[in-house]
Each structure stands twice: as C-alpha cells, then as structure tokens.
Structure 1
Amino acid sequence: MIAFTLLIALVGAERIAELIVARRNEAWARSRGGVEYGRRHYPWIVAAQVGLLGGALLEAWLLDRPFIPVLGWSMLGVAVLAQGLRWWCIATLGKRWNTRVIIVPSLPLVDRGPYRRLRHPNYVAVVAEGIALPLVHTCWLTALLFTIVNLGLLRTRIRAENTALQHAEMASAHS
C-alpha cells in the first residue's frame, strides 16, 4: 500500500510539472495571439484528474484493495507506457502543448511524432492511464468511475479541440 501511495504521489508530482510547462506555454501562445477554446470544461478536467488520484488512494486505503501481482505489474506497465506517450506528445508539440486548448492561428498543424498517426494521441494516454493506474492496486471502482466521467469530458474536449484545429487550418490556408 505504501508503494502505491508513492506511485500516486509521483503521478501527482508529474501533473504539477505538466501545469508548470502548460503555464509557460500558455504565456508564449498568448503573446503570439493564441486563442483559447473550450474554457468552460477545463475545471471539470482538472477535477476529474484530482478525482482519479484521490479516488485511487482512498479506494486502496479505505476498502483495503489488495495488490494482485499479475494485474498490478501489467497495469503499471500500461501506466508507464501511457506516461511515455503523454511526454512524447508534449515533446512533439513543444511550446504549443498545453493542458488547455490554445491555438496560435498563424502556426501550421503538427503532423509529426504521434500526431502523424493519431489526431489526439494524448487522449489515448489519458484513457489508458485512467484505467491502468487505479488497477495497479485493484481500485476498479475508481477506474470505472473515472473512465465514465472522462469519456464524457473527452467528448466535449475533442469537440472543442477539433473546432480550434479547424479554425487554425482555415487561418493558415488564408495566410
């Protein structure tokens, strides 16, 4: 249980690192005319992420969830791969990556790295991690609830992001 708590704390620290990168990138994007889309759903995404981490901890400790090695180790592997994909997305987008949907209209769309094959690879990482991370310690209730909430949020988020990308494509076509 202590190891799982440490894992959740490490993921929490990683989320803080993401927010630091995102704030710096937001300032960069806004200084270049960046426009934010889907602002209203952002607090719900933050709440869902906090719920994922907090829920997994609470479920593990309060419901005394066991560590089942075959499940735990395989889900840890999936969670690590999801983190790798997330940071590949961040590295590929560079200063254009953000936890918010902010588009700099004059920049062309990114079509390299994981974006060569998927339009929204970061959300693949979010879905995989949302299932895998709680299941490292058999917190199936957290995995289920987060997945249901997250799918609704991602539907809204992807719609906002697709609208933003369409506007960016139109703006770059006219320049």
Structure 2
Amino acid sequence: MALKSTIYRATLNVSDLDRGYYAEHVLTIARHPSETDERAMVRVLAFALQADERLLFGKGISTDDEPALWLKDDTGRILKWIEVGLPDERLLRRAAGRADEVIVLAYGGRTVDIWWQKEGATLSKLQNLRIYSLSVESSRALAEKAGRSMELSCTIQDGEVWFSSGNETISIIPQRLFPI
C-alpha cells in the first residue's frame, strides 16, 4: 500500500516591501512521504518570496511535468515556474521553454556548489532563469518551524527575509547564483 501525503496547513502573512505586496494566504501543503520538512518549508519560503493570489503549489516531487510552484495568467500561460532544491538541468530547460520566467531556490550547502559547477555552463544559456541559494543554517531553521498547523509571517525588505513563527524569527538572505 502506498503511503499518503501528510497535509500541513498554514496561514502565511506576507509583507513584501520590495514589491509592495501585502496579503494573507491560507495554504494547504501536501508533503510527499519522501519529502523532508526542510524541502516542504523551502517551498513555503518560495511561495512567500513570489507571493501572488494566483500562485499555486504543483502536484509535488513525484510529478515531472509540474513545478514545486507556478503562476499562470487567466489564459493558462505559465508566467513563473518555481523549483526548489537541485533540479535536473533537462527539467529546467523544458521549463524555460514553457514559462516566461523560471526561478530556482536551491538549498543543501556544499551540494549546491557542486550542482552549480556541474550544471552552470548549460543553465547559464537560459535567459529566463534565476537561481538563488539558501545557506544550510537558513533551510534547517525553516525545517524546525514545520508543523501540521502553522501561523507564519514573512517580511521581505532589501532582499532580506524575516520569517516568523510564534515568537521566533529567523533572518534569511537568499544569495543570487544566476544571473550574477
């Protein structure tokens, strides 16, 4: 019998001073059995960074033809294709052909550097690709905030993110890998 996804629910308040975007989002996050709390919470962070009323979570890591998150317009055109982790370069090339913009929020410490050394030459040819990296400390601190029911708040200003849950706030500064 196949294991089922664990459902997390979150109320996420986003105050993005850089974009002038302020909203509350009620999220349902399906955490695949093979997905870690770290990856699930990086998806929530990616949502906060790109927050929009039409931004949706994809079907998950078991589906190659959908991203972690995506933003479509009313006609179905993919405006943003958002991946987390260290996606395969073939997937990113396909995504770049389908979406106006492809965004990767990479995490994993040293493995991000190794992935970029391997894939960077090919990926740097994609004009509509942006890649950001999270420190190990940031992604692990996010994982500690995971829970089945969450009240989260995210403030973004000058590229710095303050991510809060309860009385605890962590500071995250995504580093731009590409384009530099």
TM-score, length of structure 2 as denominator length: 0.26
TM-score, length of structure 1 as denominator length: 0.27
Task: Say which structure is richer in helix.
Answer: 1
Task: Say which structure is richer in strand.
Answer: 2
Mark the structure with the bigger radius of gyration: 1
Structure with larger RCO (C-alpha < 8 A, sep 6+): 1
